[in-house]
Amino acid sequence: MCVGLPARVVSVNDGTAIIDANGAKRDVRAELLDDLEPGDYVMVHAGVAIAKISSDDEEEGSEVLGLLAI
């Protein structure tokens, strides 16, 4: 349904942003996200930054699995 690309924001300019995924760079639309800043990590789909990413997947995984113990 939706391939997502985690990428770092290089620069933001008037509703668009340049993102960098391992050195592959592209202009994407950034209007969906507020307060986007260079250095933020975003999930990109079909040329649009659809969400900010707040941590890496291992950190997230240990949090989520941690919930099970309770």
Partner 1 sequence: MNEIIEKAREIITSYDGPKVRIMEVCGTHTHEIFRLGIRSLLPENIDLISGPGCPVCVTQVGFIDEALYLALEKNCLITTFGDLIKVPGTEMNLAKARAKGANIRPVYSPDDAVNLAIENPDKDVVFLSVGFETTTPSSCLAVKRAKELGLNNFSILVANKSMPNAYQKLKGSADAFLYPGHVNAITGNGVCKQLKEEGVSGVVAGFTATELMTALAVTIEMLKKGEPFFVNCYPRVVKDEGSVFAQKLMDEVMELCDTEWRGLGMIEKSGLKLRSEYSDFDSRIKYNMPHIEGKPNPGCRCGEVLQGHCKPSDCPLFGKVCTPLHAVGACMVSDEGACSAFYQYAQ
Partner 2 sequence: MENVITLAHGSGSIQTNELINGIFKSNFDNPDLTADDAAVLSLDEGKIAMSTDGFIVSPYEFPGGNIGKLAICGTVNDIACMGAKPKYLTCSYIIEEGFPVEELEKIAKSMGETARKAGVEIVAGDTKVAGKGQVDKIFITTTGVGNIVEGVNTSGAFAKPGDKIIVTGDIGRHGCTILLARNEFNIDADITSDCAPLWSNIEAVLKETKDIHVIRDATRGGVGTVLYEIAHQSNVGISLESEKIPVDPGVRGVCAMLGLEPLYLACEGRLVFFVPASEADKVLSALQSCENSEKAAIIGEVTEDNVGKVILNTAVGAKTLLSRPSGELLPRIC
* Dihedral in degrees, nearest 10, Cα atoms 40, 60, 44, 3: 170
Options 24-32, 35-43, 49-57, 58-66: segment touching partner 2 (CB under 8 A)? 24-32
Options 20-28, 30-38, 54-62: segment touching partner 2 (CB under 8 A)? 20-28
- Contact residues for partner 1, defined by CB under 8 A: 1-4, 26, 28-29, 31-34, 43, 45-48, 50-65, 67-68
Question: Helices (H) and strands (E) in the chain — how many of each?
Answer: 1, 5
15/33 Cα distance (integer angstroms): 9
Residues near partner 2 (CB under 8 A) are: 1-3, 5, 20-27, 44-46
